[in-house]
């Protein structure tokens, strides 16, 4: 079998709010995650009105990369990372979001981080908005349901593009923009878009209007970015959980096909530049009134992305004669007909482990869009045990990653999929997004901190650290 491309970007992925800490340092304003408490598997995180003294907010200090970035980046360099995917905390740059001038201290922080990465030859891969909208935009404007927020985002994007134009080549506009298709709880609309659904509103309709604004904002950012630096590669980013039919029953097959539109809706527009017919039919059928301003269609057409970044963790399965299964929780995207897949095991958090699904989605996405793909998240959240001598034998994590790398290598070398790189999630232990826990660890570098915020914050290398170092060194040959 032929080898992986020489310039393949092996890296690691993180998001500002989950690892930086320093939530109120350097002029940073609060973001939508700064009012989220810790939850657990099956216990949702609370979104509080204000920052309450008595509550613990795990993202406030996170793993304190804000003060330890040199030490952490030295470890990433030792591992041999070729790129680091992270995000820019929007409220570090625009503390409230609606200012006209950026916060210089916030900009300087990312200058320092990017310079430090580049010093070691690690390319920053940057998401502009990874669940970090300034809280003020959510509270005072209603988040992206309000068209004015489009301008705020575009201003933020432009400032970042100009400031870092010689330091960053790969960008993404919004992280997992499609999470909000699941409106069964408050989490995703809040973190994606700073939106809360009011009583009496149709959540899906609110979501589609919000989505439209975000799609316009993303397209405008792409167009502006390409003018600032034509060499920029600006991508979309979606969570891509394939939805399998439970059986060969044509009803199951068609149901899965239809539900996959939840995954395709955003990239269909961001890659192709226009709304797919199935969405327009849905608006018509459901009586949704979505406001398009004059010129929006042109904006979408002109702002298509260069590549599609996506996260892949698991797959879901649906069955047509099941209509109200308890499995319809956030893991299964709120799908009421989700069932367990008898062929697949799951992690302690109920996330199914399906490496073949990765090859499957790489093929489906590449066939559908014919643009380069980038796996910008994949990984195994698990509890780690620190041995008496301080070593951490995370065999399960290595097995998970190994199987997924095998699958992606097959997609590239056998199927011919165009893939830019692979950045496993949470390369260093960070705060979990869905649960706010520390014990759900993805890292290859361990951080001594627990769910309640206790611990020395010391870093140490897990077995996976040494293993991944060899994977990178051998360009994916030695797994
Ligand atoms: C993705 C997000 O949904 O999955 C990340 O982009 C998140 O922010 C990751 O951390 C893993 O989810 P969790 O809940 O296990 O941290």
**pLDDT tens string 69-123:** 999 999 999 999 999 999 999 999 999 999 999 999 999 999 999 999 999 999 9
Res 1 pLDDT > 60: no
Exposed/middle/buried for 418, CB within 10 Å: 0-12, 13-18, 19+? middle
Flag whether pLDDT at 331 surpasses 70.
Answer: no
Instruction: Give the number of other CB atoms < 10 A from CB of residue 64.
Output: 16
Pick the atom of ligand 1 nearest to 435's CA: 14
pLDDT in tens, 131-164: 999 999 999 999 999 999 999 999 999 999 999 9
> What pLDDT was estimated at residue 333?
67
What's the CA gap between 120 and 294, in Å, rounded?
47
Q: Mean per-residue pLDDT for 184-201?
A: 96
Question: For residue 322, is pLDDT > 90?
Answer: no
Q: Ligand 1 site: residues with CB under 6 angstroms?
A: 15, 18, 175-176, 239, 311, 377, 381, 425, 432-435, 440
CA 1 – ligand 1 centroid, Å: 33
**Residue 2 reports pLDDT greater than 70:** no
**Would 442 be classed as within a structural domain?**
yes
- Tell me how far the alpha carbon of residue 248 lies from the centroid of ligand 1, in angstroms: 32
Q: Tokens standing for 207?
A: 């979501």
Give pLDDT, residue 200. Answer: 96
pLDDT at 346: 86
Among protein residues, the one whose CA lies closest to atom 10 of ligand 1: 433
Atom of ligand 1 at shortest distance to CA of 351? 15
* pLDDT, position 25: 98
**Is 199 among the catalytic positions?**
no
Number of Cβ within a 10 Å radius of residue 290: 15
Please compute Rg for the chain using Cα positions. Answer: 21
Q: In 10 A of CB 68, how many CB atoms?
A: 18
Ligand 1 centre distance from Cα of residue 381 (Å): 9
Tell me how far apart the alpha carbons of residues 203 and 337 are, in angstroms, rounded to a whole number: 19
Confidence at 41, pLDDT banded by 50, 70, 90: confident
**400 lies in some domain:** yes
Give the nearest ligand 1 atom to 131 CA. Answer: 8
Higher pLDDT, 333 or 240: 240
Ligand 1 centroid from CA 434, angstroms: 6
User: What per-residue confidence (pLDDT) applies to 327?
Assistant: 53
What's residue 323's pLDDT?
80
Question: Which among 40, 178, 191, 377 is the best mutation to test ligand 1's pocket, defined by most ligand atoms within 8 Å of the CB?
Answer: 377
User: Is 4 domain-assigned?
Assistant: no
Is 60 exceeded by the pLDDT of residue 242? yes
Residue nearest to atom 9 of ligand 1 (CA): 433
pLDDT average, residue stretch 321-335: 69
Q: What percent of the chain has pLDDT over 90?
A: 93
Query: Residue 238: which pLDDT band, with cuts at 50, 70 and 90?
Result: very high
Q: Note whether residue 2 is domain-resident.
A: no
Q: Is residue 478 part of a domain?
A: no
Atom of ligand 1 nearest to the CA of 349: 15
In b/e form, how buried is each residue of 180-194, taking b as 16+ CB within 10 angstroms? bbbbeebbbbbbbbb
The catalytically annotated residue of 214, 259, 377, 409 is: 377
Between 16-20, 226-230, 324-328, 411-415, the lowest mean confidence (pLDDT) is in 324-328
Residue 349 pLDDT class (50, 70, 90 cuts): confident
Q: Cα–Cα distance between 214 and 267 in angstroms, integer?
A: 12
pLDDT of residue 330: 59
pLDDT band at 328 (very low <50, low <70, confident <90, very high): low
Q: What is the CATH number of the domain that holds 288?
A: 3.20.20.80
Of the listed 176, 214, 259, 409, which one is catalytic? Answer: 176
**Domain of 149, in residue numbers:** 9-473
For ligand 1, the distance from its centroid to the CA atom of residue 293, given in whole angstroms, is: 33
pLDDT in tens, 445-468: 999 999 999 999 999 999 999 999
- In this structure, is residue 359 part of a structural domain? yes
Q: How far is the CA of 442 from the centre of ligand 1 (A)?
A: 10
State what percent of residues in the chain have pLDDT above 70.
Answer: 98
Q: Could you confirm whether 340 is annotated as catalytic?
A: no
Domain count, the chain: 1
Mean pLDDT of the chain: 96
In a domain, 3, yes or no: no
* Residue 479, domain member (yes or no): no
């Amino acid at each position: 079998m032929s080898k992986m491309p020489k310039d393949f970007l092996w890296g690691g992925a993180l998001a500002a709010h989950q690892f930086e800490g320093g939530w109120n340092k350097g002029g940073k304003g609060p973001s939508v995650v700064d009012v989220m408490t810790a939850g657990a598997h099956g216990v949702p995180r609370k979104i509080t009105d204000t920052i309450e003294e008595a509550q613990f907010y795990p993202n406030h200090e996170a793993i304190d990369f804000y003060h330890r970035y040199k030490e952490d980046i030295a470890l990433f360099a030792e591992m041999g990372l070729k790129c680091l995917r992270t995000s820019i905390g929007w409220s570090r740059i625009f503390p409230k979001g609606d200012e006209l001038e950026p916060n210089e201290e916030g900009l300087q922080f990312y200058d320092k981080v990017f310079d430090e990465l580049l010093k070691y030859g690690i390319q920053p891969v940057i998401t502009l908005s990874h669940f970090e909208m300034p809280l003020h935009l959510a509270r005072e404007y209603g988040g992206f349901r309000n068209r004015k927020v489009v301008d705020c985002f575009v201003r933020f994007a432009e400032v970042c593009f100009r400031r870092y134009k010689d330091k960053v080549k790969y960008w993404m506009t919004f992280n997992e923009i499609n999470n909000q298709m699941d409106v069964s709880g408050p989490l995703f609309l809040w973190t994606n878009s700073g939106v809360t659904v009011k009583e009496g509103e149709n959540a899906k309709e609110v979501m589609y209007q919000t989505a439209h604004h975000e799609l316009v904002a993303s397209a405008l950012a792409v167009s502006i970015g390409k003018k600032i630096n034509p060499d920029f590669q600006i991508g979309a980013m979606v969570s891509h959980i394939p939805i399998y039919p439970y059986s060969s029953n044509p009803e199951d097959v068609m149901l899965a096909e239809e539900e996959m539109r939840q995954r395709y809706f955003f990239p269909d527009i961001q890659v192709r530049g226009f709304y797919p017919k199935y969405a327009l039919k849905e608006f018509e059928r459901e009586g949704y009134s979505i406001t398009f301003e004059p010129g929006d269609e042109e904006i979408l057409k002109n702002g298509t992305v260069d590549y599609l970044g996506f996260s892949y963790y698991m797959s879901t399965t649906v069955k047509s004669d099941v209509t109200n299964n308890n499995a319809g929780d956030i893991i299964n995207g709120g799908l009421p007909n989700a069932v367990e897949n008898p062929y697949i095991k799951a992690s302690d958090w109920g996330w199914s482990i399906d490496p073949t699904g990765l090859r499957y989605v790489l093929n489906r996405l590449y066939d559908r869009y014919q643009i380069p793909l980038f796996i910008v998240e994949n990984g195994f959240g698990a509890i780690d045990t620190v041995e008496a001598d301080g070593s951490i034998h995370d065999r399960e994590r290595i097995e998970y990653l190994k199987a997924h790398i095998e699958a992606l290598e097959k997609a590239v070398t056998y199927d011919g999929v165009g893939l830019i790189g692979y950045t496993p999630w949470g390369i260093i232990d960070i705060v979990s997004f869905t649960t706010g826990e520390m014990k759900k660890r993805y890292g290859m570098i361990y951080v001594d901190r627990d769910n309640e915020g206790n611990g020395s914050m010391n870093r140490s290398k897990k077995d996976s650290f040494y293993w991944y170092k060899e994977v990178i060194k051998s360009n994916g040959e030695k797994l």
